[in-house]
C-alpha cells in the first residue's frame, strides 16, 4: 500500500529505493547520508541531478539495504541512502529480513523522523540553582521593615539626646551653706556671768 508521494527536484543523483533528505532549497531533496533526518524514500526510478523525483513519505514502501536486517527492525540511512539497522526506535521499520543489496518492504513514517534515533541513555539535566545576588546580599522578600522604622525619635533640644524611654532624674536640691566655702557656722558662745566681789 503506497502512501503520500510528493514530487521534488533532485539536488543530487538519487538512485531507486534510497532514503532522501531535505535539500538546500525548498522543494528540493538529495540523497540522505549517515545519521541524516530522513524525509522519505525514492521510488523505483533512478533520477539524475536536476531532474524531478517522486518521494514516498508514509505507507508501505521499499528500500535497498546496506547491511543485514531482520524483520521488525528499526532502520536508518547509511552514507549512501541505503537502509541499515538504527540505534534505537525509528519511524521506519523493516517488514522483511534481508542482506546488503536486497530491496525489502518497509513501513514508512517520516514525519519528523530522524535517521538516528535516541538511545535512551541520555541523562536529564540537573535543575539550575538560583543565583545569589552579587555581594552575597539576601534578596528582599517585600516584607522587610525599612531601616529605622521602629526607632523612637530622639530629643535633641538643648543638645541633650534622649530616647524617650528614659526615667527623668529627680533634681538635686542644693545644700544650704551659712558661709562661703561650705563651712558650718559656729554657734556663738554665751558669756559667763561673774560676780566680782561676791
Q: Is residue 163 part of a domain?
A: no
Q: Is residue 153 part of a domain?
A: no
Q: What is the mean pLDDT of residues 154-171?
A: 49
pLDDT band at 89 (very low <50, low <70, confident <90, very high): confident
162 and 154 in contact (C-beta within 8 Å)? yes
Q: What is the mean pLDDT of residues 95-122?
A: 73
Residue 118 has pLDDT above 70, yes or no: no
Q: Is residue 142 part of a domain?
A: no
Q: Is residue 53 part of a domain?
A: yes
CA 37 – CA 22 distance, rounded (Å): 8
Q: Is residue 74 part of a domain?
A: yes
What is the predicted pLDDT for the residue at 54? 97
Please give the grid coordinates belonging to residue 119: 538511545
pLDDT band at 99 (very low <50, low <70, confident <90, very high): very high
Q: Is residue 189 part of a domain?
A: no
Q: Is residue 39 part of a domain?
A: yes
84 and 65 in contact (C-beta within 8 Å)? yes
CATH classification of the domain holding 62 = 2.40.300.10
DSSP letter, residue 130: P
Question: How many domains would you assign to the chain?
Answer: 1
Domain extent for 45? 5-109
How many residues in total does the chain contain? 198
Q: Is residue 121 part of a domain?
A: no
Amino acid at each position: 500500500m503506497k502512501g503520500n508521494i510528493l514530487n521534488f527536484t533532485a539536488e543530487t543523483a538519487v538512485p531507486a529505493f534510497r532514503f532522501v533528505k531535505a535539500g538546500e532549497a525548498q522543494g528540493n531533496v538529495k540523497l540522505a547520508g549517515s545519521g541524516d533526518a530522513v524525509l522519505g524514500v525514492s521510488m523505483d526510478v533512478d533520477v539524475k541531478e536536476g531532474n524531478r523525483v517522486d518521494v514516498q513519505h508514509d505507507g508501505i514502501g521499499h528500500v535497498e539495504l546496506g547491511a543485514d536486517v531482520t524483520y521488525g527492525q528499526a532502520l536508518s540511512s547509511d552514507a549512501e541512502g541505503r537502509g541499515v539497522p538504527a540505534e534505537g526506535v525509528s519511524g521506519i521499520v523493516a517488514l522483511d529480513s534481508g542482506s546488503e543489496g536486497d530491496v525489502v518492504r518497509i513501513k514508512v513514517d517520516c514525519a519528523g523522523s530522524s535517521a538516528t534515533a535516541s538511545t535512551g541513555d541520555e541523562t536529564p539535566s540537573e535543575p539550575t540553582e538560583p543565583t545569589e545576588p552579587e555581594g552575597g546580599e539576601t534578596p528582599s522578600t517585600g516584607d522587610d521593615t525599612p531601616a529605622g522604622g521602629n526607632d523612637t525619635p530622639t530629643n535633641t533640644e538643648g543638645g541633650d539626646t534622649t530616647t524617650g524611654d528614659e526615667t527623668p532624674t529627680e533634681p538635686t536640691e542644693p545644700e544650704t551653706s551659712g558661709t562661703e566655702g561650705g563651712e558650718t557656722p559656729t554657734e556663738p558662745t554665751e558669756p559667763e556671768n561673774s560676780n566680782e566681789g561676791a
